[in-house]
Amino acid sequence: MERERFVDKIALVTGGANGLGRGMVEQLVKEGAQVAVFDIEDDTMEEAFDGNDRVYCVHCDVRDYDQVQKGVQNVIERYGRIDVLMNNAGIVHRQGFLECSKEGWLDVMDTNLNGVFYVGQAVARTMVDLGVEGCIVNTCSNTSRKTVAGVTPYGPSKAAVKMLTQIMALELAKYGIHVNAVAPGTSRTRIAAGTINDPERSAAFLAKMPFGRYGEVREMVSVALFLASEDASFITGETIYEEGGFSLP
């Protein structure tokens, strides 16, 4: 039986046009929420949610501070408040340390770290102003604790998201706002397609996975939505690793 944890809730999902974010939007809608989506892939976003009156698509580049302020304001004007933020948009640049360009470094930091700060702060301000005791879930990664070569800025951006999650949790607790993070391992989305679709790379990778398989989108979504729900009412500041034991210390 489908649960209905988000009836009458207003949610915002960044990076909701594809992959994990899209899975989050779909499950939030199934469980009763009205969902706003921020993404930069307008066609994919429109195609994914065409005709769905529970989804409001907004072109918003999370790297752009002004667009984020405007986007959040649009959602507030339309729905009156935001109860749940899935702060999920993220990218990877495959560049080793010696080759990593300044542009590549900055793009990853702008998206994965600055974007989480811009959207997190803008939404949290609305929660405080409107007295909403909401939930924020940041998408981190298992590369926040496991050293992974070849994607130079990615791990540092996600390690910073983990600490930012703790800071947000500590400062927002007095307003009744929960802030947690999910840290997926390699999962079946296009971000991991390079590994998944290359038989040799994939075999080498899976040999290091305790469960010998990739994560499924629904497995990542279920943990993220748990953290966004009443079920997690005494959890804040935590990062939950959903990675089949890959980076266990």
Ligand X SMILES: NC(=O)c1ccc[n+]([C@@H]2O[C@H](COP(=O)([O-])OP(=O)(O)OC[C@H]3O[C@@H](n4cnc5c(N)ncnc54)[C@H](O)[C@@H]3O)[C@@H](O)[C@H]2O)c1
Give the largest Cα separation in the chain, rounded. Answer: 53
Q: At its nearest, how many Å lie between ligand X and the CB of residue 67?
A: 8
Of 56, 154, 214, 241, the active-site residue reads 154
- Of the pair 61, 83, the CB lying nearest ligand X is at 61
Beta strands in the chain (DSSP E): 10-14, 34-39, 55-59, 84-87, 135-139, 178-184, 239-242
- Of the pair 56, 174, the CB lying nearest ligand X is at 56
Q: Decide if 154 is catalytic.
A: yes
- Of the pair 134, 155, the CB lying nearest ligand X is at 155
Q: At its nearest, how many Å lie between ligand X and the CB of residue 190?
A: 5
Q: At its nearest, how many Å lie between ligand X and the CB of residue 78?
A: 18
Buried b (16+ CB within 10 A) or exposed e, 52-87: eeebbbbebbbbbbebbbebbeebbeebebbbbbbb
By CB under 6 A, name the binding residues for ligand X.
Answer: 14-15, 17-21, 38-41, 61-63, 88-91, 111, 115, 139, 141, 184, 186-187, 189-192
Residue 1, CA distances (Å) to 30, 56, 197, 219, 228 in order: 11, 26, 34, 17, 19
Q: Is 93 helix (H, G, I), strand (E, B) or coil?
A: coil
- Of the pair 189, 239, the CB lying nearest ligand X is at 189
Q: At its nearest, how many Å lie between ligand X and the CB of residue 239?
A: 12
Quote the CA–CA distance of 169 and 172 in Å, as a whole number. Answer: 5
Q: Which residues are catalytic?
A: 154
